[in-house]
Amino acid sequence: MMWLRVIYLVVLLSLVTLVLLPVQLLALCFDLPIRRRLPRWWHRVACHGLGIKVHVHGSLERAKPLLLVVNHVSWKDIMIVGSVADVAFIAKTEVRHWPIFGVLARLQKTIFVAREQKRAAGAQVNEIAERLAGGEIVVLFPEGTTSDGNRLLPIKSSLFGAASSAADQVPGQMVYVQPMAIAYTGIQGMAMGRYHRSVAAWPGSLELLPSLFGLMKAGAIDVDVSFGDAIPFHRGDNRKTLSADATASLRAMLNFSLRGGWRKSR
């Protein structure tokens, strides 16, 4: 059964990619607005092929500029976030060269940042600000790495420098920062306990293919995506305060989902 699911996933994504890829390349070449929407279609198909059912709670903030701050559990988070909103991701430079994900990141016009290269920081922040000012929704994973899915790791307040610097440059000198919590809560229709959440989590020590095969073997996965209230961040506001507010919102939504809060209402 696992191999049948793998074959189905490969065939499905190959067909969809063959259809969408030429259009996306053309859209990227001429910077057409459709380049933002096409990835969402691809991510939705990918979630279907992977057996991931996404349950959305709350709604995406309509006001712009908008920075989404999301907890990070797995490589699957990319597909999940990409399936519910037209977004651009912020990723470390190394991702550009990863197999599969590097190509997908470039096709989605991901913003690559080299956190250790201070000389490049100004250009990177300017790109984030320009993308936000242009109406794009930018995604930040403020934990800086993946967790085990059972908790929120410490948030790096320094990463909110993107919001602080962008607020200096965008019209109105204000950015909306919206917390978005991803919780893996079900497996094969049953509640996913903390000991089974390793199926969904992707620790840095595990290679991609074993993680993918583990997901295919496990079967259908339920994911709860919760949107919190957007936090207006003005020029001159304290980014540590922003970090604390976003952390509190993310932790509350994540804990509610992991304790079965949304499953009880389904």
Cα separation, 40 vs 87, in Å, equals: 8
Q: Which DSSP letter does residue 229 get?
A: -
Q: Residue 223: how many CB atoms within 10 A of its CB? A: 25
Tokens 């993946």 sit at which residue?
146
pLDDT at 29 over 90: yes
Tokens at 265, concatenated? 């209402």
**CATH ID of 53-265, from 3.40.630.30, 3.30.70.100, 3.40.1130.10, 3.30.70.20:** 3.40.1130.10
Q: What are phi and psi of 215, to 5 degrees?
A: -65, -45
Average pLDDT over residues 48-59: 96
Q: How far from chain centre, in Å, is Cα 264?
A: 25
pLDDT at 116: 61
Cα separation, 247 vs 240, in Å, equals: 10
pLDDT, tens digit, 9 for 90 and up, residues 198-241: 888 987 667 888 888 889 988 899 999 999 999 999 999 999 99
Whole-model pTM over 0.75: yes
pLDDT at 163: 85
| End-to-end CA, the chain | 28
Cα separation, 30 vs 27, in Å, equals: 5
| pLDDT bucket at 117, cuts 50 / 70 / 90 | low
pLDDT at 115 over 70: no
| Greatest Cα-to-Cα distance within the chain, rounded to the nearest angstrom | 56
pLDDT at 131 over 70: yes
Average pLDDT over residues 106-125: 74
